[in-house]
């Protein structure tokens, strides 16, 4: 029996290389090894301001991108969170076993409350409980995520533990699985790459856009002139070279940057070429997939049908454990 894996992504903007290196690439590598479920978490995405008119197409496009990076609907389940209402039902039950103090400590809640000070809604606060429900409703044991989600998975463990102690052993305690690219910095070199900060390279960016964006990206700030020697250890773009360029290029840049043999402009041109080589096939597959959204809709329906069965089963156990049935 394969262990069950669950992970999710919000349909809240263009999927970027942070999502790709921190999560999606890992999902593709792990999908067949596990009984894998991947979810477009639309109910999570409505906790911050969003455009209702374009939302459905964003949801479909996010699912299309999951398929374009290499997830195959025949090998794993891909579905939309709101298509399986048991997630929100379980969220309610779980919200009665976790204390407010736990949720108040969530870093993402604090950050989002600052970013959206005019709209600190209850959903933003209970967001991690819905995330726990996403995972626990399928009794998933493995959750591949980027670093910013570790605290939420720890909380999911805490919620599972508290539920089991009070009502009996229903849920396994899920473990996060974090990859090497778990925290990709934005092109500003200041903050984590993030849809909301506009410091991203999207998986749909063309080679021209990628090169253009890299031209303005921050490198080693102490290297002011071409003749200065640089320090790759503090250069965000060197980190990206490690993910996109082969070891030969990485070794060469490591050496040549330190002795001013290569300048930032050439280094960026090389990175743009390697990045484009990896992203081009993804963009092409994505464009082909979104030109047939009816197929995407079909895959999502079949994913939701399978997931609904599992979710109903767990909710049955939960209702009986809490004494409702
Ligand atoms: P979301 O949509 O913000 O991000 C999706 C995945 O991308 C990772 N990620 C990054 N990794 C490395 N560097 C970055 N700069 C970077 N930015 C984003 C995230 O860590 C995440 O793995 N709450 C989740 C969605 C969710 C979920 C779940 C995840 C809902 N329910 C259940 C796992 C299990 C989120 O906001 O992801």
φ and ψ of 318, to 5 deg: -65, -45
At 195 the three-state DSSP class reads helix
Protein residue closest via CA to atom 35 of ligand 1: 9
CA-based nearest residue to 294, from 28, 63, 90:
63
Give the DSSP per-residue string, 199-264.
---BTT--HHHHHHHHHTS---TT--STTS---GGG-HHHHHHHHHS-HHHHHHHHHHHHTTSS-H
Same domain, 56 and 119: yes
Distance between CA atoms of 36 and 75, rounded to whole angstroms? 8
C-beta 236 within 6 A of ligand 1: no
Q: For residue 30, is it within any domain?
A: yes
Among the listed residues 77, 61, 134, 140, the one whose alpha carbon sits nearest the alpha carbon of residue 302: 77
Give the residue carrying structure tokens 């590598």.
Answer: 29
Find out whether 181 and 21 touch, Cβ atoms under 8 Å.
Answer: yes
Percent of the chain with pLDDT over 70: 100
302 assigned to some structural domain: yes
Say if 194 falls within a structural domain: no
For range 218-225, the mean pLDDT? 95
Residue 18 is labelled as binding a ligand: yes
Confidence band of 219 (pLDDT split at 50, 70, 90): very high
The pLDDT of 12-25, averaged and rounded, is 97
Q: How many whole angstroms from 7 Cα to the centroid of ligand 1?
A: 8
Q: Is the CB of 134 under 6 A from ligand 1?
A: yes
CA-nearest residue, atom 27 of ligand 1: 8
Does residue 278's CB lie within 6 angstroms of at least one atom of ligand 1?
no
Q: Say yes or no to pLDDT of 196 above 90.
A: no
Q: Which CATH number characterizes residue 219's domain?
A: 1.10.240.10
Closest C-alpha among 17, 27, 64 to residue 274: 17
| 122 and 250 fall within a common domain | no
| 198: its two tokens | 């506009």
For residue 196, being part of any structural domain is answered with no
Residue 109 has which token pair? 């809640």
In a domain, 162, yes or no: yes
Do 75 and 175 lie in one domain? The reply is yes
**Do 308 and 216 fall within a single domain?**
no
Contact 145, 151 (CB under 8 A): no
Do 119 and 229 lie in a common domain?
A: no
Both 173 and 262 in one domain: the answer is no
CATH no. for residue 9?
A: 3.40.50.620
Say whether both 49 and 150 belong to one domain: yes
100 is in an annotated binding site: no
Q: What is the pLDDT of residue 281?
A: 98
Domain count, the chain: 2
What does residue 185 show for φ and ψ, rounded to 5 degrees? -80, 155
pLDDT of 144 over the 90 cut: yes
Shared-domain flag, residues 77 and 174: yes
**148 and 279 within one domain:** no
Give residue 224's domain range.
Answer: 204-286
Report whether 195 belongs to an annotated binding site. yes
Residue closest by Cα to atom 33 of ligand 1: 7
Residue 179 lies in a domain: yes
Residue 323 exposed, middle or buried by CB count within 10 Å (0-12, 13-18, 19+): exposed
Does residue 177 share a domain with residue 109? yes
Q: Is the pLDDT of residue 195 over 90?
A: no
Q: Where do we find the tokens 């999911």?
A: 156
- 190 inside domain: no
The residues assigned a catalytic role are 112, 192, 195
Query: Residues 109, 71: one domain?
Result: yes
> Tokens representing 287?
């464009």
133 lines ligand 1 (CB under 6 A): no
191 occurs within a structural domain:
no
The pTM is what? 0.97
Residue among 7, 125, 38 at smallest CA distance from 299: 38
Decide: helix, strand or coil at residue 20. Answer: helix
Residues 306 and 174 in one domain: yes
Q: Residue 254 above 90 pLDDT? A: yes
């Amino acid at each position: 029996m394969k262990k069950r894996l669950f992970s999710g992504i919000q349909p809240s903007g263009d999927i970027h290389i942070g999502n790709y290196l921190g999560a999606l690439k890992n999902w593709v590598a792990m999908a067949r090894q596990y009984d894998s479920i991947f979810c477009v978490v639309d109910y999570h995405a409505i906790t911050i301001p969003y455009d209702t008119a374009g939302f459905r197409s964003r949801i479909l496009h996010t699912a299309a991108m999951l398929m374009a990076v290499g997830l195959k609907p025949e090998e794993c389940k891909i579905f939309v969170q709101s298509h399986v209402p048991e997630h929100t039902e379980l969220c309610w039950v779980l919200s009665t076993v976790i204390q407010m103090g736990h949720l108040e400590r969530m870093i993402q809640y604090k950050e989002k409350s600052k970013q959206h000070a005019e709209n600190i809604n209850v959903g933003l606060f209970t967001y991690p409980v819905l995330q726990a429900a996403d995972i626990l409703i399928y009794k998933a044991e493995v959750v591949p995520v980027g670093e910013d989600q570790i605290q939420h998975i720890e909380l999911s463990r805490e919620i599972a533990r508290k539920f089991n102690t009070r009502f009996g052993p229903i849920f396994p305690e899920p473990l996060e699985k974090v990859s090497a690219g778990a925290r990709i910095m934005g092109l500003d070199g200041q903050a984590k790459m993030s849809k909301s900060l506009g410091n991203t390279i999207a998986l749909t960016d063309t080679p021209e856009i990628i090169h253009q964006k890299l031209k303005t990206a921050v490198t080693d700030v102490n290297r002011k002139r071409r003749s200065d020697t640089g320090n790759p250890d503090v250069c965000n773009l060197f980190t990206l070279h490690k993910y996109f360029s082969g070891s030969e290029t990485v070794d060469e840049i490591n050496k040549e940057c330190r002795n001013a043999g290569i300048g930032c402009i050439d280094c960026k041109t090389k990175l743009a070429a390697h990045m484009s080589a990896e992203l081009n096939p993804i963009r092409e597959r994505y464009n082909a997939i979104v030109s047939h959204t009816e197929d995407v809709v079909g895959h999502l329906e079949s994913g939701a049908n399978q997931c609904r069965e599992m979710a109903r089963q767990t909710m049955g156990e939960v209702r009986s454990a809490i004494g409702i049935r």
